[in-house]
Amino acid sequence: MDTNTDSKAQPKSSIKAVTVFCGSSSGRHPEYLESAKRLGAILASRNIHLVYGGGAIGLMGEIAKSTIENGGQVLGIIPEAMKNVEGSGRESIPGVSEIVVKSMHERKQLLNHHCSAFIAMPGGYGTFDELFEVITWAQLNIHRKPIALLNTRGYFDHLVAMVDNSVTEGFVRPEGRNLLIVERDPEQLLAKMEGYEVPRTAQYG
């Protein structure tokens, strides 16, 4: 597959591996699953490895399956205790490499260690938790990796409004707002992430 319309060779991405945070449910609109499927295909076509929480269901399962089906590489990082919850029956997705970890904390550490960028797709509290943690780490200069929101159906509009309000009210610095790359289209999202310079920010809030 070719993702670049005016070049003949597939551009090699500056991003080697991306950690995707997303729901273990599928959402109420087919657009969510389609978006996960499409992002998986794009990652595979650019030879960007997918790193994720390791589930076989919902958006998590869909993006992993799509990446594999399109010839890409997937690493799932799943805590022992959750193997039977998120996987429900725990059919591993064929082709997915797995690391089983002892705790949620170890999972978060490895999800950070094994990637060069983060993408959040729609998800629940767990997704918001993972997302705000890596934003906080960026703010503390623990990592300099781009953080992007795949804004399918405007799912993250309220989150962006919340962060904008935090800036207005004086709890997040304006450069902290710039830590977030937000796009509805996965191609455009990745294009913005390539070579993105993460702004340095002082700790605040």
Q: Interface residues with its own copies (CB under 8 A)?
A: 23-29, 32, 58, 85-86, 105, 122-129, 132-133, 135-136, 139, 153, 155, 158-159, 161-162, 165-166, 168-172, 176, 203-205
34 makes contact with Mg ion (CB under 5 A): no
Helices (H), 5-156: 30-45, 58-69, 83-86, 104-113, 125-139
Q: Which two tokens stand for residue 141?
A: 């200069």
Farthest CA pair distance, the chain: 48
Least Å from the CB of residue 16 to its own copies: 26
183 makes contact with Mg ion (CB under 5 A): no
Among 69, 133, 175, 183, binds Mg ion (CB under 5 A): 133
Cα separation, 83 vs 14, in Å, equals: 33
Least Å from the CB of residue 201 to its own copies: 10
62, interface contact from Mg ion, its own copies, none, CB < 5-8 Å by kind: none
125, interface contact from its own copies, Mg ion, none, CB < 5-8 Å by kind: its own copies
Spatial contact of 137 and 115, defined as CB atoms under 8 Å apart: no
| 55: CB partners within 8 A, 6+ apart | 24, 61, 64, 76, 78, 86, 87
User: Which residue in the shown chain puts its C-beta closest to Mg ion?
Assistant: 133
Least Å from the CB of residue 82 to Mg ion: 16
Spatial contact of 67 and 44, defined as CB atoms under 8 Å apart: yes
Q: Which two tokens stand for residue 62?
A: 């869909």
Least Å from the CB of residue 22 to Mg ion: 16
Least Å from the CB of residue 139 to Mg ion: 13
Cα separation, 66 vs 151, in Å, equals: 19
Cα separation, 182 vs 172, in Å, equals: 17
109 makes contact with Mg ion (CB under 5 A): no
Q: Which two tokens stand for residue 101?
A: 């970890």
129 makes contact with Mg ion (CB under 5 A): yes
Binding-site ranges for Mg ion (CB under 5 A): 129, 133
